[in-house]
Amino acid sequence: MASIKVSIFQKALGNGLNLSLLKRLAALKSDFLVFPEYFYADSNVTTPQIVADRSQAAQDWLLKLNDVYRGVIIGGSVVHEESGGKRYVSIPIVSEGSIVDYGRKCTLTSFETKFASKASETGVFILGGQRFATLAGEDLLNAQLLGTIQESGIRLVFAPYTFRGDETVEADEKAMSKLAGEFKLHIVRCCGVGKLLNEPIRGRSMIASPTGITWRVGAGEEDSEILKTLMLNIAGV
């Protein structure tokens, strides 16, 4: 498959996970639906411990969504405890009514180290007719991880992200274009908006390809909840 339809949900974190949202997303006709990091962290999520505690409920909600949205869900990031007892910041990959696997975060923020271990590798998957990788947050800026993905022959990366910095739009686009071009990747970056643990974050959702930025939210939409569906052509890379 050379072209896929991707829905990017730049979610306002302050808005809860309710029936109205479920119905809105159920109407989408796309191959993939991408959420931002900690998409469930509303105004009641005020500490790292609450982030971890609410992760299971968030995953249950994604499963309920997948009953009505038939594409593959790239479920932002949650805290997932594995069989050995270790907890990781993880990206649920949801398809056909189940969580088929998790991408794991390798580059943790200071607040994530309070409840999670650092992973040694992220994840590569084959779903929806595509081979793809996932990179959460700061992993997107990790050249070693990007190089490993490129060496694996992967050309598509889904990146749930949190944009916290003061970087200008121009500098941000230049940095993302450089990464996509250097590693020959199509990068789908999905950000949240509002506040995460009382820290302001901005919506800089975009798609970067080896030839440059193919889509980004408008300058006046960085504080807005945006749901956008686009065709992504990954042929000829």
User: How many distinct structural domains can be found in the chain?
Assistant: 1
Give how far Cα 65 sits from Cα of 24, 52, 112, 179, Å.
10, 21, 26, 32
Q: The CATH number of the domain where 164 resides is what?
A: 3.60.110.10
What was the pLDDT predicted at 121?
A: 87
What was the pLDDT predicted at 207?
A: 98
Domain that holds residue 220: 3-233
**H or E element: which one contains 81?**
strand 78-81
Q: List the chain pLDDT tens, one digit each, 237 residues.
A: 479 999 999 999 999 899 999 999 999 999 999 999 999 999 889 898 999 999 999 999 999 999 999 999 999 999 999 888 899 999 999 999 999 999 999 999 999 999 999 999 888 999 988 999 999 999 999 999 999 999 999 999 999 999 988 889 999 999 999 999 999 999 999 999 999 998 999 999 999 999 999 999 998 999 999 999 999 998 755
Predicted model pTM: 0.95
What was the pLDDT predicted at 168?
A: 92
What was the pLDDT predicted at 236?
A: 54
Cα–Cα nearest to 51, from 120, 111, 136: 111
What was the pLDDT predicted at 91?
A: 98
Helix and strand numbers, DSSP H then E, in the chain = 5, 15
pLDDT tens track for 175-217 = 999 999 999 999 999 999 999 998 999 999 999 999 999 999 9
Q: Phi and psi dihedrals of 170, rounded to 5?
A: -60, -45
